[in-house]
Amino acid sequence: MFIDTNIGGGIDGTSGADTVTLTGQVRAAERIGFDGLWSTEVNRDPFLPLAIAAEKSTTLRLGTGVAVAFARSPMTTALAANDLQSLSAGRFILGLGSQIRPHIERRYSMPWSAPVERMAEYIMALQAIWRSWHTGERLDFRGEHYRHTLMTPMFTPEPHPYGPPPVVLAAVGHKMTTVAAEYADGLLVHGFTTARYLREVTTPIVAAGLAQSGRSRANFTVCYPGLVATGRDERDLDNAIAGVRRQIAFYGATPAYRAVLDLHGWGELHTELHRLSKSGDWATMTDLIDDEALNTFAVVGEPGAVACEITARFAGLIDRFTLYTPYPLDDSARAEVVEGIRAATAAPQPC
């Protein structure tokens, strides 16, 4: 495997969910040269922006990165995904995530249960629903968490020629990554993942899961939002580095992501970051991210240099790369990175 030209950006309503703003993001993505757009579920619905994107662009791949599965029944998600698959003429990717218990119970007011087994069942339920719609097979899905046994003609969507959308699952830990490899069409790797973790931990888990399900790696997509710190001049690069250090510190304080730090021998860094996060001391946390950690978790440098390094660092590990830039970055710099990745992919050379 190699990084191909699947280079993604993002669309959301965090800066305004009006049609003009969202249309501008789609147009910018096309100018920059992105192949696709991901829509996040943070403070906006993840599906609605993609309906606008499907209308405004005829070429961009469109995906949720991610939609919270356990906030919705499989039937609700299946309907939204099927509509977007039709609206986009087959360009939609359903990215799912589990979220954590407090959000599911206290923000969404939905029941919580062990997420790994439930997610596997959720994906199987989606597939059963779509199969019923597209083949006419009687819907009869009975699981521990979900039961779908009624589908009358009035409520059955008309089949379209694009088939069900692929499902990619966000995962960090061993068990959820295994679910992705055994049941989904791809994996959404967390941004707090290093190339070494991908190589030594994630890739073997995916290989084992695919073998268990009797599938080929060629039919499984690994998507990675990679942290990149770049800028055209020294001041912009310094601001980018500061933003990325803050993001690394934030993720590093999260117990669920400690395994990545442990692999690099930085378990004590997590302990200290987690302690400081309890008191909200974000400035000190950011200062703890030294240059070694920064350059391990992120690709750093001017746009041309980071393009070459992205291609070299992740060759053989991922299929889709999304620029993850938690700071302001102008479109011309993004376009230079994208162009550089395409050039380095077409003709690999030492950076």
287-317 per-position pLDDT tens digit: 999 999 999 999 999 999 999 999 999 999 9
Does residue 74 have a pLDDT over 70?
Answer: yes
pLDDT tens per residue across span 121-138? 999 999 999 999 999 999
Tell me the pLDDT band of 11, cut-offs 50, 70 and 90. Answer: low
- CA 35, CA 26: separation in Å to the nearest integer? 11
3-state helix, strand, coil in the chain (%, to 5): 50, 15, 35
* Res 326: pLDDT: 93
Average pLDDT over residues 259-265: 97
- CA 119, CA 31: separation in Å to the nearest integer? 37
- CA 236, CA 92: separation in Å to the nearest integer? 34
What average pLDDT does the structure give for the chain? 93
Tell me the pLDDT band of 4, cut-offs 50, 70 and 90. Answer: very low
Percent of the chain with pLDDT over 90: 86
Count of beta carbons in the 10 Å neighbourhood of residue 143? 16
Average pLDDT over residues 88-111: 96
Q: What is the pTM of this model?
A: 0.93
Tell me the pLDDT band of 346, cut-offs 50, 70 and 90. Answer: confident
- Per-domain boundaries in the chain: 2-228+302-346, 233-301
pLDDT tens per residue across span 276-294? 999 999 999 999 999 999 9
- Here the tokens at position 86 are 């039709």
Q: Which residues pair with 92 in a beta bridge?
A: 62
Does residue 259 have a pLDDT over 90?
Answer: yes
- The more confident residue out of 11 and 77 is 77
Mean pLDDT is lowest, of 38-42, 159-163, 203-207, 212-216, for 38-42
Residue 68 phi/psi, 5-degree rounding, is: -80, 110
pLDDT tens per residue across span 48-73? 999 999 999 999 999 999 999 999 99
- Which one is the CATH code of 2-228+302-346: 3.40.50.970, 1.10.40.30, 3.20.20.30, 3.40.50.720? 3.20.20.30
